[in-house]
Chains A and B, each alone.
Chain A
Amino acid sequence: MKSLRLPAALAALVMVASACSGEGGEGGSGGYPRDETLYTVGTSWGPPVNWNPIMRGQYAVGTMGLAYEPLFHYDAEEGDYVPWLAESDEWPAEDTHVITLRDGMTWSDGEPIVAQDVVTTLEIGQLDVSYSNIWNFIEDVEATDDLEVTVTFSDTRPQEWMNWAYSHGIVPDHIWGEKSQEEITDDTNSDPVGSGPYLYETHADDRMVWKRNDDWWGTEALGLEMKPTYIVDIVVESNEASMNLVRSGDVDISNNFLPGIDQVIDGEEITSYYDGPPFMQSANTAWLVLNHEHEALGDVEFRRALAHAINMDQIVEGPYSNLVEAASPTGLLPQWDDFIDHDLVEAQGYSYNPDEAVAILEEAGYMDENGDGYVETPDGEPISLTLEVPSGWTDWMESASVIADNAQDVGINIEATYPDFNLLVDNRNDGDFDMVVNNERQLSNTPWTYYDYLFQLPLRDQQTTVNFGRYENEEAWDLVQELATVPADDTEGAAEITSRIQEIQLAELPAIPLWYNGLWSQQNNSVWTNWPSESGYHGYAAMWDGWFEIGAIHTLAEIELAE
């Protein structure tokens, strides 16, 4: 019986192991009591290693928003700027913006927050960092008082400027003031001194832990009391792991796209913003970006035919099982309804109509002469296009294949391919592609960000953030620049310009708006409740970069412990 001893020992081990976990290996003996901790997942795809707010795209979740804060927030529901570190601001002249900071705010190391901090933050932009472009229109920035900053513009672009002002964190001068380019680029800032409601607590490869800053200025000044003492942001590899964590209640909120979540949302334990389709709020637009340097794609008639060929309902109902909504032909998000010229959309918009697509192609001279089932150019050259989406982005992959099928039905030969993400980005930036799906810009303070994305000129060898399709239209770009100069609170003035831009956009179709990607957010209500919802308060439950500043920070103050 010698050989059975080991299995018996193993069986004993199983029992011991399961007994331990039964006792409550999670929480019971833990450092972060369950009822004081908010567990989140779905925003980080790698270990937290960087807390440097200047290095966009590299820092840990919460660096911006929880630790560092901007001058203003933007209330996307109301369309208002909310003074944040700033107490008030005014425009004494057209090219001058005077911002007054709140009195009595301190950094987490106890130093006061002063005007010089804002000056330093802006001046870092003169080095090579992600926001260097603001110095294209800023002339000078000066601390005119302890708490007063005066920004003068060489080219007044309030929409663009306010976009910076609400989306970039202010850093303390006494720490960042003397840093050189190398120090700013390479500093991981592992002991972040910020102004925000949370402080760095600890991190490991699969988690980032923030602890509430009980001396936060906002508790008194804004009356916002952050409920969770700790926020633990968890890094997982797969959607399945996220789904398991949410279902088991180990995690309170998940911010990734979970296929099949519509089956799990029950409105009781697991909730999202809406109880029924589309379940999620709209966060950004997925565009079909077309390379205008391609012969056929450069032809507006061909683009129009393609736009008519795509059956968005099939994508929404199929790959997304109604978790998203089809985009307006303008591509603008529902939150920007004031900026959409509905009469124009009525008259000039397009919808799914394969017969129309075929008719447009025929009229423009795209015929199938060689009988292979696909049209050729008017010169008789065969057309074969690829639509690239990143490998592993399953929702986009399935959608791309629907688009390819739709296009083939009207005789346009499109094949969906799924290259590696980094390769796709390289090719996209170099203009070495036919078509890609892209959602680079998301909800912001102004549709200017979308039009900047669609129309920005001049074209460069590498288009790293905007106008990947290399569409050239001076008239449209002039209008976009004009939009940037509209005073930040002048909605009507802005709408007038956006209407003129939409006229060009709908006639020219530089890129085809597809659907609104959701603000993927599902919550388990077993520990924390009162999440933003259709019937509750209208906020955002998102830890994504950029969302704290458009209202998501309030969610941390609004949530309550479950009974």
Chain B
Amino acid sequence: MWRYMGRKLGFYGLTFVIAVTINWMIPRFMPGDPVRSMLNRASISDPEALERMTTYYNEVFGLDTPLHQQYFAFWAGLFRGDLGVSVWLYPEPVTDIILRHVPYTLGLLIPAIVLSWIVGNHFGAFAARGKVLDNTLLPVGYVLTATPYMWMALLLLWALGVMGGFFPTAGGYGFALTPSWSWPFFLNLVTHWFLPFLSMFIVGLGGWAIGMRNMIIYELEADYSNYLQALGAPRRLIRRYAFRNAMLPQITGLAVQLGTIIAGALLTEIVFTYPGLGTLILRSLNNNDLFLLQGIFLFVVIGVLIANFIIDIIYVLVDPRTRVQMTGGSS
């Protein structure tokens, strides 16, 4: 067990180092000079002032030292939780900006993914049971998964937000409010959260339901099911085993989904002007803020690794075969 965990941890550690290195390299070897685009915005016409300010900012961002020093400084900063200073929102620290946006993204995506996973799996398993339900649910599920997400989100926004007026169309909370620990503020937060959540939930639901339904049918036709049936086992028991087996790929799927959490939020947040990390990615790209972009990607990398690690542990608990591997029982 510990050897298995140790090996996994080593693997994750190595992945992390490589990811951070690539993450560090990309902005530095990409065309475009962040300091220059920052100064371009300041409209400085005097050439000498421009030159002096360029030197100054290069020093601030640590771009005047040799590359290898920049690399080690990056690692050193990383362990202090310091990801540098944003160019676009100068002089705010990258870490502060990211931490401000993270709660929105997590608050939106974790419920959307987990709930759509739970509900989708139950619906799928349920559908596999009956012909009528299968015939109605399957097409709906296919339509939902095949719908381009953007279109679905815009449709919801238009119908429930602009036309219906049930929900606000933009922002994380009402523009008339200042954040506070109060019921009105919390309810307002929920109304702004709901449409983006719903759009992700609906689209996710279809995929999980179809996946589960197909898996269950496959498992019900597997040899062990037929064998159990031949033995005269109750149908409920067979279904329970089928459900358990069908769950495994779904758990992997969940891990992948949770890992790519940030990317999944991009479109949602842009459509609903939701102030999370997705919006931040777009903005830092548009503003050539490589330091901020780097910070966000690092955050994503850490998120993916942690999610996968947790799933690894869960696998040990739910899949007996992994346990067997750990003790060296399988070939």
Same assembly: yes
> What is the distance, in angstroms, from A281's C-beta to the closest C-beta of chain B?
23
A185 x B56 contact (CB < 8 A): yes
Q: How many angstroms from the CA of A232 to the CA of B173 in the assembled complex?
A: 13
Q: Is residue B36 within 8 Å, beta carbon to beta carbon, of the partner chain?
A: yes
A27 x B90 contact (CB < 8 A): no
Instruction: Take A46-B287, A128-B49, A421-B286 as given contacts and tell me if A3 and B275 are in contact as well, using a CB distance cutoff of 8 Å.
Output: no
**Docked complex: A188-216 residues within 8 A CB-CB of B:** 188, 202, 204-207, 209
Q: Which of B90, B169, B194 is within 8 Å of A245, CB to CB?
A: B169
B168 x A130 contact (CB < 8 A): no
Instruction: Take A21-B167, A49-B89, A205-B275 as given contacts and tell me if A185 and B53 are in contact as well, using a CB distance cutoff of 8 Å.
Output: yes
A6 x B119 contact (CB < 8 A): yes
Q: How many angstroms from the CA of A236 to the CA of B175 in the assembled complex?
A: 12
Q: Is residue A238 within 8 Å, beta carbon to beta carbon, of the partner chain?
A: yes
Q: Is residue A132 within 8 Å, beta carbon to beta carbon, of the partner chain?
A: yes
Q: How many angstroms from the CA of A450 to the CA of B297 in the assembled complex?
A: 43
Instruction: Take A130-B43, A244-B157, A464-B44 as given contacts and tell me if A426 and B36 are in contact as well, using a CB distance cutoff of 8 Å.
Output: yes
Q: Is residue B28 within 8 Å, beta carbon to beta carbon, of the partner chain?
A: no
Mask: chain B, 222-252; 1 = CB below 8 Å from A; 0 = not: 0000000000000000000000000000000
For the complex, count residues of B whose C-beta is within 8 A of A: 71
Q: Is residue A133 within 8 Å, beta carbon to beta carbon, of the partner chain?
A: yes
Instruction: Take A31-B176, A46-B89, A57-B42 as given contacts and tell me if A425 and B37 are in contact as well, using a CB distance cutoff of 8 Å.
Output: yes
A22 x B166 contact (CB < 8 A): yes
Q: Is residue B14 within 8 Å, beta carbon to beta carbon, of the partner chain?
A: no
Give the nearest-CB partner of A233 in chain B. Answer: B175
Q: How many angstroms from the CA of A31 to the CA of B188 in the assembled complex?
A: 12
Interface 9-mer from A32-40, A378-386, A474-482: A32-40
Q: How many angstroms from the CA of A468 to the CA of B97 in the assembled complex?
A: 35
Interface 9-mer from B64-72, B122-130, B139-147, B306-314: B122-130
B176 x A26 contact (CB < 8 A): yes
A237 x B282 contact (CB < 8 A): yes
Q: Is residue A267 within 8 Å, beta carbon to beta carbon, of the partner chain?
A: no
Q: Is residue B148 within 8 Å, beta carbon to beta carbon, of the partner chain?
A: no
Q: How many angstroms from the CA of A39 to the CA of B7 in the assembled complex?
A: 56
> What is the distance, in angstroms, from B273's C-beta to the closest C-beta of chain A?
5
Chain A residues with Cβ below 8 Å from B257 are none
Instruction: Take A7-B119, A426-B32, A466-B45 as given contacts and tell me if A29 and B175 are in contact as well, using a CB distance cutoff of 8 Å.
Output: no
**Docked complex: A11-32 residues within 8 A CB-CB of B:** 13-14, 17-18, 20-22, 25-32
Q: Which of B169, B184, B198, B282 is within 8 Å of A241, CB to CB?
A: B169
Mask: chain A, 330-361; 1 = CB below 8 Å from B; 0 = not: 00000000000000000000000000000000
> What is the distance, in angstroms, from A83's C-beta to the closest C-beta of chain B?
27
Instruction: Take A27-B176, A58-B90 as given contacts and tell me if A205 and B101 are in contact as well, using a CB distance cutoff of 8 Å.
Output: yes
Q: Is residue A144 within 8 Å, beta carbon to beta carbon, of the partner chain?
A: no
Q: Is residue B3 within 8 Å, beta carbon to beta carbon, of the partner chain?
A: no
A206 x B191 contact (CB < 8 A): no
Q: How many angstroms from the CA of A13 to the CA of B194 in the assembled complex?
A: 9
A247 x B45 contact (CB < 8 A): no
> What is the distance, in angstroms, from A60's C-beta to the closest C-beta of chain B?
11
Mask: chain B, 113-157; 1 = CB below 8 Å from A; 0 = not: 001001100110110000000000000000000000000001001
B41 x A58 contact (CB < 8 A): yes
B42 x A55 contact (CB < 8 A): yes
Instruction: Take A46-B88, A232-B175 as given contacts and tell me if A244 and B169 are in contact as well, using a CB distance cutoff of 8 Å.
Output: yes
Mask: chain B, 31-52; 1 = CB below 8 Å from A; 0 = not: 1110011011111111111101
B42 x A465 contact (CB < 8 A): no
Q: Which of B37, B47, B123 is within 8 Å of A460, CB to CB?
A: B47
Give the nearest-CB partner of A48 in chain B. Answer: B89
A34 x B176 contact (CB < 8 A): yes
Instruction: Take A18-B167, A30-B174, A185-B56 as given contacts and tell me if A238 and B101 are in contact as well, using a CB distance cutoff of 8 Å.
Output: no
Mask: chain B, 161-192; 1 = CB below 8 Å from A; 0 = not: 11001111111101111110000100110110
> What is the distance, in angstroms, from A264's C-beta to the closest C-beta of chain B?
12
Chain B residues with Cβ below 8 Å from A22 are 166
Chain A residues with Cβ below 8 Å from B288 are 420, 422
Instruction: Take A17-B190, A236-B273, A248-B165 as given contacts and tell me if A188 and B91 are in contact as well, using a CB distance cutoff of 8 Å.
Output: yes
A56 x B176 contact (CB < 8 A): no
Q: Which of A17, A29, A209, A238 is within 8 Å of B184, CB to CB?
A: A29
Chain A residues with Cβ below 8 Å from B36 are 426, 429
A46 x B283 contact (CB < 8 A): yes
Q: How many angstroms from the CA of A401 to the CA of B44 in the assembled complex?
A: 31
Chain A residues with Cβ below 8 Å from B115 are 6, 10
Q: How many angstroms from the CA of A50 to the CA of B275 in the assembled complex?
A: 19
Most B C-beta atoms less than 10 A away, residue of A129, A237, A241, A420:
A237
B42 x A56 contact (CB < 8 A): yes
Q: Is residue B8 within 8 Å, beta carbon to beta carbon, of the partner chain?
A: no
**Docked complex: B1-60 residues within 8 A CB-CB of A:** 31-33, 36-37, 39-50, 52-53, 56, 60
> What is the distance, in angstroms, from B256's C-beta to the closest C-beta of chain A?
22
**Could you list some 21 contacts between A and B, CB below 8 A?**
A13-B194, A14-B198, A21-B167, A25-B184, A29-B188, A30-B176, A46-B89, A128-B46, A130-B42, A130-B43, A133-B46, A206-B275, A240-B154, A420-B32, A422-B32, A422-B37, A426-B37, A464-B40, A464-B44, A465-B44, A466-B45
Smallest CB-CB A-B distances: 8 pairs: A30-B176, A29-B184, A3-B122, A128-B49, A57-B41, A21-B191, A422-B288, A20-B187
Binding site for B on A (CB under 8 A): 2-3, 6-7, 10, 13-14, 17-18, 20-22, 25-34, 37, 39, 45-47, 49-50, 55-58, 128-130, 132-133, 181-182, 185-186, 188, 202, 204-207, 209, 232, 234, 236-238, 240-241, 244-245, 247-248, 250, 392, 420-423, 425-426, 429, 460-462, 464-466
Given contacts A10-B201, A45-B283, 10 further A-B contacts (CB under 8 A): A10-B119, A14-B198, A18-B166, A46-B89, A205-B101, A238-B270, A241-B170, A248-B161, A420-B32, A426-B33
